[in-house]
Structure 1
């Protein structure tokens, strides 16, 4: 239901909950308890926070309940008979309107904030007027623009009132630091506690939100990557943060090598890897605090070479791990693509030996694009970094829009995928066998 709020609320900077009180007229029908089907009528019921739309009759009559309907949808008796014909009998008997007292508790966060903020905010260009926030454990995280800052404390108080599990409200002050990937924030309401605990991918993560990077809006993407991992995959995370990729990977039984340049991230990632150990996660995990390029050169490349040789020389391992893969994750969208400049030199060394490798290597590298055609834009940028990579080794996938005309993309680069090549050749052979006439004509013309 659309609730009209008093204009006197506009510009309020100190929360006065009493000013939200009003009385509205609501249609109702008294219906026998056994005939009430709230789930089927949900599109027509009065739905407001902290309000029961099916309530006891006064004086208490246990056989019937009073069902409240949305006055924006049900304006008269004919409306409800048309929309819910099965209760026509009860509509004829008891349909009427009742006065209903609405209080601050019956408004959503968005409704309260919209009622308070001046209408001209965001008129020139869209801004976060306070209804957009992220939840990280007990923290509600805002990124408020300057025009909204005079109302930040009242916005924070509304969130604390409405979300009982939120204990701390913070606002981002500056852009993300490109080295440690954290940002300065201020606590605008609630407890001065930024150490959080949250659940994702069946794992529990702990970290200090003020000192590390964590974006809950990437949970779907992280789940997508985790879902393609298998037991005994080899996973390298160049910019691992507190472990949202590698912790669930370890729980699945992958061997994990995780790195982050931020020592605070490494500290919490180690804690998260330890606390989420399962019977499946008996494989090794290794944590590093290095620059991304150094991690690739000194840890990733040597470990891949050693692992591939080990499998090639061990027939039992070669058979057991034939369906596995090596994953390299690079989630630092601002600059991750530039770190791929260490690949060409490594790929050119001992190329004949590398061609015999058993396991394919999948590189998932995240980046931003402001181009109308992000796929084309990314491929052009990649050609300057990896000139010898073929187009068919690259695929680009949209992840999410981070700002108007700015998309986050995932680039998947596949190296040494012999199985894919063999499958393609087998398919070609099958096509030829299924169409012998076509093949015969080709042969006869030569």
Structure 2
């Protein structure tokens, strides 16, 4: 139901819980216990945080319960009968109204914050007024705009009160560091502890949230990638962070090569890989602390060449891995496309047996786009770094909206795929200009 919000707390920067006490008048009906589960209550029940809508009768009855109904929906006995005809008999016998005490505990986070913040906040455009936050382990993470900052501590206290699993509330202070992908944060309330544990894709992750990058809003995208991986796929993650892609990949039995420039990310990624390594598979993981281009040039490309050669030279391995692929992940949306500039120099280089390579290479490169036609925008920018790539090798997919008119996208580039026609084969496309 819609509770009346107290006026006295408007614009306050400290939390006065007593002001949220009030008495409401709600309808109720007494029904046999066996009707509680079998009746279709639809939207008729009173629903408030920390408030039971099915209660013991006074004096206590072993056969009947008292059910509280929503006064916004049920105004008369006839309303109740119309919505719940199966218990019409009991509504006729016991339907009535009662006064009910409501406290601070019975308001939602959004209701309390709405009551406190000035009504004119957001008049110049949408802002995060406190209802938008991310949960990372025991941390609630805000990204509050300047207009809301005078109320940041009271907002944090409300969240700490209302969410039992939250022990620390933080606010982002600056934009993400483009080098190490972390940001400064301020602890607004709760414990001074930023080392968190969380679960995703059946894996457990541990890291210091103040020193690494982790975005729970990308969990759906990460799970989507994990679902297309198979046992014995070769997976390279150029910007691996604390391992949200490579840890589940290792658990699936993929061969993993993971890299990040942030040494703190490498530290926690190593811990997460070791913690979640599957006993079912003997696959190994390899962790690096390199610049992305250096990782591609010195680790990824040489390993791809040696792996393809191993498969060509071993008939049994060639047969076993015929349905597998090589996956290169590049999730650094601000600048990931620019790192594609190292691919042409590799693909144009002479390499023995390249035309016979067995495994296709799938590159998943993430980027942002503010263009009206995001597909056209991404293809155009991508081709400035990989000019010889064909349109047939590129596909673009929407991931999420990160801001108004700013989308996160995934560009998938396919190389050495036998399913393509001969004229689309990358070994022919990536010849030197002089030889064409």
TM-score in terms of structure 2 length:
0.95
In structure 2, the partner of 1:120 is: 120
Q: Alpha-carbon deviation of 1:40?
A: 2.9
Question: Residues 36-95 of structure 1, C-alpha deviation per residue, up to 9 Å, x if partnerless?
Answer: 237731411011110110101111122111111111111111111111111111111111
Please say if residues 395 and 411 of structure 2, whose CA atoms lie closer than 8 Å, have aligned partners that are also in contact.
yes
- What is the DSSP-based 3-state SS (H/G/I as helix, E as strand, rest coil) of the residue aligned with 2:160? helix
Aligned 1:138-149 pairs, distance under 5 A: 138-149=138-149
1:361-416 Cα deviation digits (max 9, x unpaired): 00000000001111111011112111111111111110000000000001110000
- SS of the residue 1:36 aligns to: helix
Match for residue 305 of structure 1? Answer: 305
Deviations 1:194-219 (A, max 9, x none): 11111111111111000000001001
Are positions 1:212 and 2:212 aligned together? yes
Residue 223 of structure 2 corresponds to residue 226 of structure 1: no
Query: In 2, are the aligned partners of 1:247 and 1:276 still within 8 Å (CA)?
Result: yes
Deviation at 1:192, TM superposition (A): 0.6
CA deviation profile, 1:127-175 (whole Å, cap 9, x unmatched): 0001110111111100011111111111111111111111111100000
Q: How far 1:97 moved relative to its partner?
A: 0.8
- 1:192-341 equivalences under 5 Å are 192-341=192-341
Q: Paired residue for 1:7?
A: 7
Gaps of 5+ in 1: 425-446
Question: Where do 5+ consecutive residues of structure 2 fail to align?
Answer: 425-436
Deviation at 1:280, TM superposition (A): 3.0
**What's 1:131 paired with?**
131
* Partner residue, 1:180: 180
Deviation at 1:420, TM superposition (A): 4.9
Distance 1:275 1:171 in 2: 29
What is the rounded CA distance, in whole Å, between the counterparts of 1:58 and 1:140 in structure 2?
40
Matched, 1:378 2:378: yes
1:224 positional shift: 0.5
Q: Residue 284 and residue 421 in structure 1: after superposition, are their counterparts in 2 closer, same or farther (change >3 A)? A: farther
Tell me if the contact between 1:252 and 1:280 (Cα under 8 Å) persists in the aligned partners: no
Deviations 1:275-308 (A, max 9, x none): 1111234211100000000100110000000000
List per-residue Cα deviations over 1:241-289 (Å, max 9, x = no partner).
0000001111111110000000000000001111111123421110000
SS for the counterpart of 1:322 is coil
Supply the distance in 2 between the matched residues of 1:128 and 1:83 (Cα, whole angstroms).
37
How big is the shift at 1:353? 3.0
Structure 1 length as normaliser, TM-score?
0.93
SS at match of 1:187: strand
**Contact 2:309/2:353 (<8 A) preserved:** no
Q: Distance in 1 between matches of 2:421 and 2:312?
A: 19
Pair 1:219–1:39, CA change in 2 (3 A): farther
CA-based RMSD of the aligned residues comes to 1.3
Distance 2:301 2:280 in 1: 26
